[in-house]
Amino acid sequence: MEREEAIGSATISPTGNRFTLYKDLNGTTYDVELPLTSHVDPNELRDELGIPGYIDMKYFPMRSAIVTLWAAVNAHRLNELFPMAFEKKLSNKPIPALLFGGAAIKIHCKSANC
């Protein structure tokens, strides 16, 4: 007998876990399978962007910022790099992106990463 129980927007079942990210007004739901996994190496992306190696990559918001910057810089070729994820070309050129506040300070100030 299959058992499912709802916990907030998550559904736990013997066949796998799913989390509803968004439910549209027309009833369409956008789910992801749990646990979430990452298929990118933020350190490699940081190096490719030329961002200093002293950046604290254990700090999740900084890792996310690096991935976001890399995606913006490479927006014009994301569909080539990840054909299964992007059906259409997002942009014909890189998307200008800037960091501000704490993230910008961490990139420009080595002592802010201690």
What pLDDT digit, counting tens, does each position of 25-77 carry? Answer: 998 888 888 777 778 899 999 999 999 999 988 888 899 999 999 999 999 99
Q: In sequence order, which residues have a C-beta less than 8 Å from that of residue 18 and are 6 or more positions away?
A: 10, 11, 31, 32, 33, 34
What DSSP line would sit under 13-25, residue for residue? ETTEEEEEEEE-T
User: How do the domains of the chain map onto residue ranges?
Assistant: 5-34, 42-113
Strand partners, 18: 11, 33
Q: What is the mean pLDDT of residues 74-96?
A: 86
The label of the residue with tokens 């100030």 reads 109
Q: What is the pTM of this model?
A: 0.67
Q: In sequence order, which residues have a C-beta less than 8 Å from that of residue 9 and are 6 or more positions away?
A: 19, 20, 21
